[in-house]
Amino acid sequence: MSKYDEIDFEKIALQMQEQVEKDPHNVKLRNELAIVFMETNEYEEAFFQLQAAAEINPSVQTFYNLAYFYFTEGKPIIEDISNTKEIRSSEEDESMFSTWEIADREAFDILEDLLKNKPEHYFLYNLMGELYIKKEKYEEAINLLKEGINLTPSLENLNNLGLCYYKKGMLPEAVACFHKAHPLRSCNNYSLFPLLSYGMCLAKLGRESEAREVAKELLFLSKKEEEGLEADIAEIYYILGDYEEFVNIYSKLDWDFYSEEFLPTYFYSLWKLSKTKEIEELASKTIQRKEKEMKEVTQDPDEEEDFKAEYEEVTTEEITFIKNAVREVYEGKAPIIDYKPEVETRCYLYGCFRHTNSNPNYFSI
């Protein structure tokens, strides 16, 4: 349990609201109150405080935090925002804040303006890089992420730069970025995905011994940290053509908890090892389980008819997928692994005390 889990944030929020009422132009206080509201899941109130801070004192800090909120949470659809600079009373209608929508455009516009002045903190570059990745504009993301790395290399910007290179088919450049990202794991981000991407790229580049070492390290860390990445790690061995090690890992998985999409590579690896009996048994067991679950749902009098029809359709498609996978494997068709590196992110909110983020005192703009 984190030390923050023992704090009564609701009590703190009430105290800070009283302080803001007495000092409404204190944007630092409003920023801190917004963060406290996020701790209590009062995102409408947090948005109101961040928006008010940006209006009262337009600065890199206030506008950036508003942009970050837009990107991560979206924006509430508000009918009346005429009194945004005042603390709303508890008697006002809260329903106007109940509907949210994506606000990437708002986040992008703010960041674009802020970046014109070349701010000297990497959060802005990391976040804009993520926005460009979301738009699949990898060249633009590369330029921004490089600038962020020049200021402060982090697991996130190095991993995401590697992702961009991977998407552009530049595997040597990608592997170098993923390799640099992994050692930067910290209390804010313990992700193993940069190391997984590193291993996958090594395998694709034919650097077999290095890929195997990475796979071994990943299996150790995944077990130690209870990450459950064994199925993903095994794909490194599949790419290397080591079907025996791939099967060794996959045979230990509980298939009641894995999607049928994982089965084709397993079936193919078993076929390459002449273990057709195992293919038939697993395919039959999985299909029988899905048919049983489908029957239970469709015969449940408490379920909606629309849900029953949709469940039956989806399950029938899954069963057909499994049967086709077996057929294609017996025809010698090797399934191709479509690996997609994960975008890495973390809390980029200026002043977030939980993540010990800095809170730069930028001049007004």
pLDDT score, position 9: 83
- Residue 195 is assigned to a structural domain of this protein: no
How many beta carbons lie within 10 A of that of residue 58, not counting itself? 13
The pLDDT of residue 90 is 42
Q: Residue 35 falls within a domain, yes or no?
A: yes
Q: What pLDDT shows up at residue 353? A: 85
Q: Is the dihedral of CA 105, 106, 111, 117 positive or negative?
A: positive
- pLDDT tens-digit readout, 291-342: 999 999 999 999 999 999 999 999 999 999 999 999 999 999 999 999 999 9
Statement to judge: residues 17 and 145 lie in one domain: yes
Task: Assess if residue 304 is contained within a domain.
Answer: yes
Q: Which of 121, 176, 180 is nearest to 152 (CA)?
A: 121
**Distances, alpha carbon 340 to alpha carbons 183, 268, 326, in Å:** 21, 21, 24
358 within some domain: no
Cβ 13 vs Cβ 36: under 8 Å: yes
Instruction: Report how far residue 34's alpha carbon sits from residue 87's, in angstroms, rounded to the nearest whole number.
Output: 12
Task: Answer yes or no: do 135 and 262 share one domain.
Answer: no
Q: Identify the domain boundary among 154, 187, 211.
A: 154
What is the percentage of the chain residues whose pLDDT exceeds 70? 91
The answer to whether residue 220 is domain-embedded is no
Q: By residue range, what is the domain housing residue 90?
A: 3-154
Query: Could you report how far apart the first and last alpha carbons of the chain are, in Å?
Result: 40
Using one digit for the tens of pLDDT, what is the confidence trace for 174-224? 999 999 999 999 988 999 999 999 999 999 999 999 999 999 999 999 999
Region at 151 (left for phi over 0; alpha for psi -120 to 50; beta for the rest): alpha
Q: Please state, as a whole number, how many other Cβ atoms lie within 10 Å of the Cβ of residue 184.
A: 16
Task: Say whether both 135 and 14 belong to one domain.
Answer: yes
**For the segment 110-134, what is each residue's pLDDT rounded down to a tens digit?**
999 999 999 999 999 999 999 999 9
Element (H, E) at 264: helix 263-272
Query: Which DSSP string do the residues of 46-65 spell out, in sequence order?
Result: HHHHHHHHHHHS-BHHHHHH
Q: What CATH number does residue 143 fall under?
A: 1.25.40.10
In a domain, 357, yes or no: no
- Domain boundary among the residues 104, 126, 154 is at 154
* Residue from 207, 185, 190, 189 nearest 198 by CA: 207
Q: What's the domain count of the chain?
A: 2
Q: Which of 154, 189, 216 is the last residue of a domain?
A: 154
Question: What's the predicted TM-score (pTM) here?
Answer: 0.88
Per-residue exposure over 147-181, b if at least 16 CB sit within 10 Å of its own CB, e if not: bbbebebbbbbbbbbbbbbbbeebbebbbbbbbbb
**168 part of a folded domain:** no
Whether residue 281 is contained in a domain is answered as yes
Whether residues 13 and 150 fall in one domain = yes
State the sign of the Cα–Cα–Cα–Cα dihedral 197, 199, 203, 207: positive
